[in-house]
Amino acid sequence: MKKIFLGLFALSTTLPTLALADSGFSAELLMGTSDQSVSMDRPPVDATEDFDLSDKALSYGIRGTYAFNDYFAIEAAYMDYGSVEQGYGAMALDVHGMKQEIGVEQKLSSRALNAGVKGSYPLTQRLSINGRLGASYWTMKQETGINASISFDDIDIIHAFGPTNTESDSGVGMYYGVGLQYDFTKRFFMAAEYSMTSMEADFGHQSVKNDIDNLALSVGFKF
């Protein structure tokens, strides 16, 4: 699977360079929200059974695409799905509205290199619907550390996180999605897309699965 991914990624990145004169290459900047559903085989030590890292995070990325025609293209992208975090085992001290808390926090960060294909179908002269499918080389990082904060009347004054243990794992999976693209001019376009991917990491003492639904807007330019 990893060899297939590397082959797709190499093809996606080298072919556009050779074909710039055909004006098939485009580049996009993406920004959106990732809805991360995190499950683990066991909660962290000292955490309760209802410990849950699932949350939403800011996502962003960059993508290059080479279109053979109006219907078929290949693509390569870097996506950062952001970080989700959850604290546990907190101790608090409240003195005249000044609240001090210290506890343990677990943070999970996910990112990926994607390479795949994109199919499009024009609905009008400017608007098209598309679908994409490909391989995703993902990396997941887990940080556990001390989280400390000082607040006054529920307003944070100081919030600090100091990681004491960092682990990471990587692997190859799949991504797929659907979207709409609107061409404002021959070169400039905007798009909205919904994509899904899944990552399953083994950190030795703990297995973590992260199912990511990503909703993003993008701006792009056709060369």
Alpha helix positions (H), 42-196: none
Task: Please tell me the least confidently modeled range out of 17-31, 118-132, 209-223.
Answer: 17-31
pLDDT tens-digit readout, 24-69: 999 999 999 999 999 888 766 556 556 778 899 999 999 999 999 9
Task: Please tell me the least confidently modeled range out of 58-62, 104-108, 146-150, 180-184.
Answer: 146-150
Q: What's the mean pLDDT in 148-167?
A: 70
Contact (CB, 8 A) for 137 and 125: no
Question: 91 vs 206, which has greater pLDDT?
Answer: 206
* pTM (2 d.p.): 0.77
pLDDT of residue 18: 46
Percent of the chain with pLDDT strictly greater than 70: 74
pLDDT tens-digit readout, 86-123: 876 656 666 666 777 667 778 899 999 999 999 999 99
pLDDT of residue 156: 64
pLDDT band at 168 (very low <50, low <70, confident <90, very high): very high
- What is the rounded CA–CA span in Å between residue 104 and residue 107? 10
pLDDT of residue 46: 57
The alpha carbon torsion through 24, 121, 27, 170 (nearest 10 deg) reads -120
Question: 206 vs 33, which has greater pLDDT?
Answer: 33
- What is the rounded CA–CA span in Å between residue 166 and residue 143? 5
Closest C-alpha to 190, from 204, 180, 199, 198: 180
Q: What's the mean pLDDT in 144-171?
A: 74
Percent of the chain with pLDDT strictly greater than 90: 57
pLDDT of residue 19: 43
CATH class for the domain made up of 2-222: mainly beta
Q: Tell me: pLDDT of 20 over 50.
A: no
- Average pLDDT over the chain, rounded to an integer: 84
Question: 57 vs 11, which has greater pLDDT?
Answer: 57
